[in-house]
Amino acid sequence: MYDCAIIGGGIAGLQAALQLGRYMHSVVVIDNHAGRSTKAKKYGNVLGWPEGISGPELRERGRDQAREVGVEFIEDKAVSAAKSKDKSFSITCEGGQVVQAKRLLISTGITDRIPPEIDGLRQVLGSAVYVCPDCDGYEIKGKKAVVLGTGNAGAAMACVLQYWSDQITYINHEPEEYVVSKHWETKCKENGVTIIKSRISSVHQVDSERLSGIELGDGEIVEAEKGFIAFGGSKAESDIAAQLGVERLENGHIPVDGRTKETNVKYVWAAGDVAAHSQLLTVAIGDGAQAAIWIHKSLQE
Ligand SMILES: Cc1cc2nc3c(=O)[nH]c(=O)nc-3n(C[C@H](O)[C@H](O)[C@H](O)COP(=O)(O)OP(=O)(O)OC[C@H]3O[C@@H](n4cnc5c(N)ncnc54)[C@H](O)[C@@H]3O)c2cc1C
C-alpha cells in the first residue's frame, strides 16, 4: 500500500511527487506519457529559464529528481479507480497492474484537439505555433501571425491575439463543420482580423522558432512568422475521477478547494490543467506543490 498514488506524471504530478517524496512518503506515479507537456517544444515564460526549456526535458529532469527521493513510476494508463471499505484507493492500469494507495492525486491534464492531417504542425508546437495566449502571446508581439483553428474558437483566439499584433489572419480549417457566427465575424472585422475559409494542408517553417507560411488546400501560401492553434474540442482528462464520484464542471474540469486542492471526494486531490482553472506550466507546478502539502497533512492525521 502506497501513501499516495498520482495518476498523471506531467508537470503538476511530478512537482507533487517530488514534494511528497521529500516528506518521505511512499509515492507511485502512473503515467502514459501523452500529455501537453510531452508536446510543448519550448516553455518561454518560466522564471529562471530565459532561454526556455522544452516540456520533454523538464519532465525528464522532474522524473530524475523525483526518483532521487524514492518516487516510483509505472509507465501505463490508469483505466479505473475505486475506493475500498478501508477508504484506500485501488487503481487498475491498462496492462493489468493494480495499485493500492491511501491518498490519490489526479493530475491527468487536458488533451488538445489537433487535426492530424496538417503536415508539419506538431514539429513546431510550442516553439513557433502556440496554444495559450497567456503563456505565449508575447512571442507574436508586432509579428505577422496566423491562427489555425475552427469556427468561433479560432475567431475568439484571433481577437485575443490582437492585443499583441495587428497582423493577424485567421484560417478556419473546417469551415463547413464549424461556421463562424455573425457575432465573431463582426468582432474579427472590428479587430482587423482577416478570415480565410479553407482547409490547411501544411505548416512551413524557416526553423523551429519561425514559420515561413501556411499552405492551404489549393496550394496558396499564407505568409506568417508565428501561429496559434484554436481548434476547440479540447478534453479535460477527468473520466477516471468521475468513477470515484468526483464533481466535474460542464467542460470536464474538476473544481477543487482553492487552498488545499482537494476535490469533493475525501482523500482525492486534483492539480494542474485538469483542475478548474489553470492551464499554465507555472500554475501546474504551484498546484502540484500545494496539493502535496495538504496530502502530507492528511497522511499525518
Ligand atoms: C504546445 C503547447 C505549448 C505550451 N506552452 C506553454 C508555455 O509556453 N508556458 C506555459 O506556462 N504553459 C504552456 N503550455 C501549457 C502547459 O504545457 C500545461 O499547462 C502543463 O503541461 C500542465 O501540466 P499538467 O501536469 O496539468 O498536465 P500534462 O503536462 O498534460 O500532464 C498530464 C499527464 O497525465 C498523463 N495522463 C493522463 N491521463 C492518464 C491516465 N489515465 N493514466 C496515466 N496517465 C495519464 C498524461 O500522459 C500526461 O503525462 C503549453 C501547452 C502546449 C500543448
pLDDT digits (tens, 9 = 90+) for 107-151: 999 999 999 999 999 999 999 999 999 999 999 999 999 999 999
Residue 94: which of 64, 111, 74, 114 has the closest Cα? 74
173 shares a domain with 36: no
Per the domain annotation, does 63 fall within a domain?
yes
Residue where a domain terminates, one of 180, 206, 230: 230
Tell me what the mean pLDDT of segment 251-279 comes to.
95
Instruction: Please state, in angstroms and rounded to a whole number, the distance separating the CA atoms of residues 247 and 256.
Output: 9
Residue where a domain terminates, one of 190, 205, 230: 230
Residue where a domain terminates, one of 230, 250, 271: 230
Q: Which amino acid is at 135?
A: C
* Verdict on whether the full-model pTM lies above 0.85: yes
284 shares a domain with 146: no
Alpha carbon of 212 to ligand 1 centroid (Å): 27
Q: Ligand 1: list residues with CB < 6 Å.
A: 7-13, 30-37, 39-40, 43-45, 55, 77-78, 107-109, 112, 125-126, 130-132, 135-136, 237, 240, 272-273, 279-282, 284
99 shares a domain with 13: yes
Nearest ligand 1 atom to the CA of 12 is: 25
Per the domain annotation, does 107 fall within a domain?
yes
150 shares a domain with 96: no
State the average pLDDT for the chain. Answer: 96
Per the domain annotation, does 141 fall within a domain?
yes
94 shares a domain with 19: yes
Tell me what the mean pLDDT of segment 228-233 comes to.
96
Per the domain annotation, does 102 fall within a domain?
yes
pLDDT number for residue 277: 75
246 shares a domain with 194: no
89 shares a domain with 138: no
Q: Kindly report which listed range (16-20, 93-97, 174-178, 238-242) carries the lowest average pLDDT score.
A: 174-178
Tell me what the mean pLDDT of segment 12-28 comes to.
98
175 shares a domain with 92: no
288 shares a domain with 225: no
Per the domain annotation, does 117 fall within a domain?
no
50 shares a domain with 131: no
Alpha carbon of 100 to ligand 1 centroid (Å): 25
Per the domain annotation, does 254 fall within a domain?
yes
Nearest ligand 1 atom to the CA of 129 is: 1
206 shares a domain with 264: no
Per the domain annotation, does 201 fall within a domain?
yes
Per the domain annotation, does 134 fall within a domain?
yes
Q: How confident is the model at residue 41 (pLDDT cuts 50, 70, 90)?
A: very high
- Containing structural domain, residue 288: 2-112+234-299
Q: How confident is the model at residue 276 (pLDDT cuts 50, 70, 90)?
A: confident
Q: Could you give the number of structural domains in the chain? A: 2
Nearest CA to ligand 1 atom 26: 272
Nearest ligand 1 atom to the CA of 273 is: 26
Nearest CA to ligand 1 atom 44: 31
64 shares a domain with 87: yes
Nearest CA to ligand 1 atom 31: 10
The CATH number of whichever domain residue 33 belongs to comes to 3.50.50.60
